């Protein structure tokens, strides 16, 4: 790539169902120039996350959709190339939101300075960033687990689920993970320390989950939905808490699921069992509590109490394929694209 060019993936069309490579278009443009009060950032790492599928749709949501022909959104860890903004200097690493491109401009809003030599800069996109923060606040503030309770989390080896389960273990809970395949389930038990992990691909998945949760479920951290929640729902205890941060199984759906309408059953359970079910958007609802999270997570990582797995893919050109695979569960750990060398 010529250093006079800025590669960027834009949204070429809105997907109908699962995204395809044709929904994205790779373009090259001139590198933007920073104005007064702005910085020019070079992307080193790009985070890929399930929420991006929702931003490709023009359906009403908590955030505006990506416009056709606009750069795909995404969290990034970048280096400052040129700065006209106080508090940022050339060579600083920053946590930013410049999306699927080599270079971006920021006026400093939402920009976090990571210093000149952070130990593991890409961790700011995962365990020390949005996924880790989501797990921490969703579990501790909404889930409010108590020692001895049973916590269940799906996508158990993903960046959110793996963190939820490990924090729950630190709080003295029994933790049951749900993941896809033997390798991920073994990792959840042997590395992350979960008490059990159930393969959602198993024919008798619901029966296995029931057997593992012999005292029911006190906290279910919801990030998948679909058949997983169908199996969880009858096991929820009185006064159970259900933090809801995502529904990855539904993101590519083009219609409501087939089968009987279970909404009345769910509403009845919420009433009779006094279940708390609450959705949240992490930085909208908890931005002021990030320092609390950062302090605790830094301590846990330093002491080796939290394990973290990163799925790093080299090469900006691989971004669309990697994102499509993410929605199919092909990643193992936090998915990050290495866009450029530092």
Q: How confident is the model at residue 1 (pLDDT cuts 50, 70, 90)?
A: very low
**What's the CA angle centered on 271, arms 266 and 272, to 5 degrees?**
100
Q: Cα separation of 198 and 286, whole Å?
A: 31
Give start-end residues of each CATH 3.90.180.10 domain in the chain: 5-126+308-338
* Residues forming a β-bridge with 44: none
What is the model's pLDDT at position 92?
Answer: 97
Judge: domain 130-283, CATH 2.40.50.140: no
Give start-end residues of each CATH 3.40.50.720 domain in the chain: 130-283
What is the model's pLDDT at position 329?
Answer: 86
The rounded percent of the chain whose pLDDT value lies above 70 is 94
Classified by CATH at the fold level, domain 5-126+308-338 comes out as: Quinone Oxidoreductase; Chain A, domain 1 (3.90.180)
Contact in structure between 270 and 277 (CB atoms under 8 Å) = yes
Look at strands 196-199 and 174-179 and give their pairing.
parallel
Tell me the residue ranges of DSSP E strands in 190-305.
196-199, 217-221, 236-244, 276-279
Contact in structure between 327 and 137 (CB atoms under 8 Å) = no
Q: Cα separation of 180 and 158, whole Å?
A: 11
* Residues forming a β-bridge with 335: 311
- Each residue of 286-332: pLDDT tens digit? 989 999 999 999 999 999 999 999 999 999 999 999 999 999 989 88
H helix or E strand, kind and range, residue 209: helix 205-212
What is the model's pLDDT at position 211?
Answer: 98
- Each residue of 38-68: pLDDT tens digit? 999 999 999 999 889 989 998 877 788 999 9
What is the model's pLDDT at position 182?
Answer: 95
Q: Is the dihedral of CA 248, 249, 253, 257 positive or negative?
A: negative
């Amino acid at each position: 790539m010529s250093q006079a060019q800025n590669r960027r993936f834009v949204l070429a069309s809105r997907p109908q169902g699962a995204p395809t490579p044709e929904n994205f278009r790779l373009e090259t443009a001139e590198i933007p120039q920073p104005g007064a009060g702005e910085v020019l950032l070079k992307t080193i790492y790009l985070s890929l996350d399930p929420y991006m599928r929702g931003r490709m749709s023009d359906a009403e949501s908590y955030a505006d959709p990506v416009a056709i022909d606009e750069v795909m959104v995404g969290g990034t860890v970048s280096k400052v190339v040129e700065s006209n903004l106080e508090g940022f200097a050339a060579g600083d690493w920053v946590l930013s939101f410049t999306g699927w491109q080599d270079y971006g401009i920021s006026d400093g809003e939402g920009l976090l300075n990571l210093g000149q030599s952070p130990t593991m800069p890409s961790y700011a996109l995962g365990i020390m960033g949005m996924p880790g923060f989501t797990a921490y606040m969703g579990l501790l503030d909404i889930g409010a687990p108590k020692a001895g309770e049973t916590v269940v989390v799906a996508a158990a080896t993903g960046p959110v689920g793996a963190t939820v389960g490990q924090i729950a273990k630190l709080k003295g809970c029994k933790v049951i993970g749900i993941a896809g395949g033997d390798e991920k389930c073994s990792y959840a038990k042997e590395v992350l320390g979960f008490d059990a992990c159930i393969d959602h691909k198993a024919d008798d998945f619901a029966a296995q989950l029931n057997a593992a949760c012999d005292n029911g479920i006190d906290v279910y951290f919801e990030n998948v939905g679909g058949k997983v929640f169908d199996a969880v729902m009858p096991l929820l205890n009185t006064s159970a808490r259900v933090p809801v941060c995502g529904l990855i199984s539904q993101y590519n759906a083009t219609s409501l699921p087939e089968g009987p309408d279970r909404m009345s059953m769910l509403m009845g359970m919420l009433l009779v069992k006094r279940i708390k079910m609450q959705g949240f958007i992490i930085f909208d609802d908890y931005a002021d509590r990030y320092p609390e999270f950062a302090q605790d997570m830094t301590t846990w990582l330093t002491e080796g109490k939290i394990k973290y797995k990163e799925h790093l893919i080299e090469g900006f050109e691989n971004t669309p394929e990697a994102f499509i695979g993410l929605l199919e569960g092909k990643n193992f750990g936090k998915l990050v694209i290495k866009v450029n060398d530092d």
